Amino acid sequence: MKLVLSALKKALYKGIYVGALVALLNIGGWLAIATPASYAASTTVQDQESVESREQAYEEAKSIVNDPKGIEREYEKNKDAYLKEHPEEGGVIEEAKQAVERITGND
């Protein structure tokens, strides 16, 4: 008799254990569905100004590339703007230029 009751007790505990696990998985599934996806795309419409500024930047880049010296001029302009913002880093570039000139003999 004790053996039968012990077996029933084990079966009852296993059933409760399995039921609790199923309930936890079910609750977890419902919580996962309730939260919105963070990677979902927003439905905002782009401003016309941003589209125009992109087109203007594209046209400027096209004109720079089509000009034979355009890329070099644009580089110099960007370099000058960078050196104005970061004056402490300008020395490295100038020192490198001077070192190249000394090595090549183009004084």
Give the span between the Cα atoms of 89 and 95, in whole angstroms.
11
Q: Give domain status of residue 95, yes or no.
A: yes
Q: Identify residue 68 by its one-letter amino acid code.
A: P
User: Which residues of the chain, if any, have pLDDT below 70?
Assistant: 33-49, 90-91, 106-107
Tell me what pLDDT residue 41 has: 63
Q: What is the pLDDT of residues 80-95, one digit of tens each?
A: 888 888 877 766 777 8
Kindly state the DSSP code that residue 67 receives in the 8-state scheme: S
- At residue 93, the pLDDT reads 72
For residue 74, being part of any structural domain is answered with yes
Q: DSSP characters for 14-59? A: HHHHHHHHHHHHHHHHHHHHHSPPTTPPP-PPPPHHHHHHHHHHHH
- What pLDDT, on a 0 to 100 scale, did the predictor assign at position 37? 60
For residue 84, the model assigns a pLDDT of 85
62 found inside a domain:
no
Asked if the structure places residue 51 within a domain, the reply is no
Tokens of 34: 């309730």
Q: What is the pTM of this model?
A: 0.38
Report pLDDT for 14: 94
Q: In total, how many domains does the chain have?
A: 2
Full residue range of the structural domain in which residue 78 is found = 68-107
Is residue 48 situated within a structural domain? no
Whether residue 24 is contained in a domain is answered as yes
Residue 53 lies in a domain: no
